[in-house]
Structure 1
Amino acid sequence: MPQLNPSPWLAILLYTWLVFSIMIPPKVMAHKHLNEPTPLNTKLMKTTSWNWQWS
């Protein structure tokens, strides 16, 4: 069974790593989220107990 010549596949692997590790992350990180999270209010809400009619 013939073996594949590793020289073109090594170059393809290295170019793919170059693209994925250098060129793509800055493009992905440049996107801004449309809905920025807002901090929640730290005040505690005042709750009232229910006034049951049968008790």
Structure 2
Amino acid sequence: MPQLNPSPWLAIFIFSWLILLIIIPPKILAHLNPNEPSLQDSQQPKTSSWTWPWH
């Protein structure tokens, strides 16, 4: 099995990791959620009982 010359592969490896670690994370972290979560009310909603007969 022949040995590969490491110089082009090492450069490709280093450049690909530089792209993954420097360029892509700010793009991912800049993503905003379209629906921001809102605070819920602390009061319980008023519910009415069901007055229909069960039989």
Identical-residue share of aligned pairs (%) = 55
Give the superposition deviation at 1:8.
1.5
Question: Helix, strand or coil for the counterpart of 2:38?
Answer: coil
The CA distance in 1 between the partners of 2:37 and 2:46, in whole Å, is 25
May I ask how many residue pairs the two structures share in their alignment? Answer: 55
Q: What TM-score, normalized to structure 2?
A: 0.68
- Segments of 4+ in structure 1 off by > 3 A? none
Query: C-alpha deviations, 1:13-47, integer Å up to 9, x for none?
Result: 11111111111111222233222221222221122
Unaligned runs of 5+ in 2: none
Q: What TM-score, normalized to structure 1?
A: 0.68
Tell me which residue corresponds to 2:13: 13
RMSD: 2.0
The CA distance in 2 between the partners of 1:34 and 1:15, in whole Å, is 33
